């Protein structure tokens, strides 16, 4: 199939899981209950991604800006992340899923880091769906860190400024070796990236859903894939030329 052909099935789907707090508030519950319910939606999305045959699923679990939330809520979220990973690890390992984390590990509690790294180590040889969890992740900080590393290479005489390419930057991002997301889904009705995969999302397709994350369903996941399948990814080309290439 031509590089310019209409999209078929994405290889990499990323999800901004938004709306846990509003889901709980709307029911008169503590916000942590929304996060707990949201963990069930994570299971749903992982199962759907596995069954769809895609290669990569990235879940935005906790942003670097989320530290601004009340301390008790942050502690609840971190506890849930560690608990979820520990509980699901062997199940996902049996399913041949590979677990990865992107984001800054510094600043996370020792117990959370231990759970995440244990999952990465346990599943590193698996060849099925890659489940990538973004924890303490911020895209601007990620890009700044990559630029800093390149600046050090220039300073050390390993690279000339004029030699720096997009590939040099990409290789220094947290997602090095992972394909850019073809499709990004965001729940809760918000329509923005919120500092998520800014570099990698340059040519991503977007699907914005009005549902809050705890209400996310398997059907919604597959509906998003269907929406993606009829998009025409032009990558800067003109439509008439795209159609000609797709038909060739």
- Give the relative orientation of helices 71-94 and 31-52 as an angle to the nearest 10 degrees: 30
What residues are designated binding site for Mg(2+)? Answer: 18, 205
Tell me how far the alpha carbon of residue 150 is from its chain's centroid.
24
Residue 75 a catalytic site member: no
Residues 6+ apart with CB under 8 A from 84: 39, 42
DSSP letters along 129-179, please?
-EEEEEEEE-HHHHHHHHHHHHHHHHHTTSS-GGG--HHHHHTTSTTTTSP
Residue 18 a catalytic site member: yes
Rounded CA-CA distance 230/4 in Å is 13
Count other C-beta atoms under 10 Å from residue 35's C-beta. Answer: 23
Q: Which of 18, 76, 174, 182 is catalytic?
A: 18
Q: Which of 66, 130, 136, 182 is catalytic?
A: 66
What residues are designated binding site? Answer: 18-23, 31, 35, 63-65, 67, 69, 186, 192-194, 205
What residues are designated binding site for substrate? Answer: 19-23, 31, 35, 63-65, 67, 69, 186, 192-194
| Angstrom distances, CA of residue 85 to CA of 45, 114, 180, 193, 247 | 15, 10, 24, 25, 45
Q: Which residues pair with 57 in a beta bridge?
A: 13, 131
Which of the residues are catalytic?
18, 66
């Amino acid at each position: 199939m031509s590089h310019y052909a209409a999209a078929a099935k994405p290889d990499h789907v990323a999800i901004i899981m938004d709306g846990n707090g509003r889901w709980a508030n709307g029911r008169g519950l503590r916000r942590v209950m929304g996060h707990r319910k949201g963990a069930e939606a994570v299971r749903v999305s992982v199962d759907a991604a596995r069954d769809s045959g895609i290669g990569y699923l990235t879940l935005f679990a906790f942003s670097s800006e989320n530290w601004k939330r009340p301390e008790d809520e942050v502690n609840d979220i971190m506890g849930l992340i560690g608990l979820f990973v520990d509980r699901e690890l062997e199940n996902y390992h049996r399913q041949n899923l590979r677990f990865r984390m992107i984001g800054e590990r510094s600043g996370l509690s020792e117990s959370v880091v231990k759970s995440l790294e244990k999952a990465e180590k346990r599943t590193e040889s698996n060849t099925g769906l890659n489940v990538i969890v973004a924890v303490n992740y911020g895209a601007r900080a990620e890009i700044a860190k990559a630029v800093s590393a390149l600046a050090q290479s220039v300073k050390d005489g390993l690279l000339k400024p004029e030699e720096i390419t997009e590939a040099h930057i990409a290789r220094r991002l947290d997602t090095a070796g992972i394909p850019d997301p073809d499709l990004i889904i965001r729940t809760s009705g918000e329509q923005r990236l919120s500092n998520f995969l800014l570099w990698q999302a340059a040519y991503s397709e977007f699907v914005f859903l009005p549902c809050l994350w705890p209400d996310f369903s398997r059907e919604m996941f597959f509906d998003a894939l269907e929406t993606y399948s009829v998009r025409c990814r032009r990558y800067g080309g003109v439509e008439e030329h795209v159609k000609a290439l797709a038909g060739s």
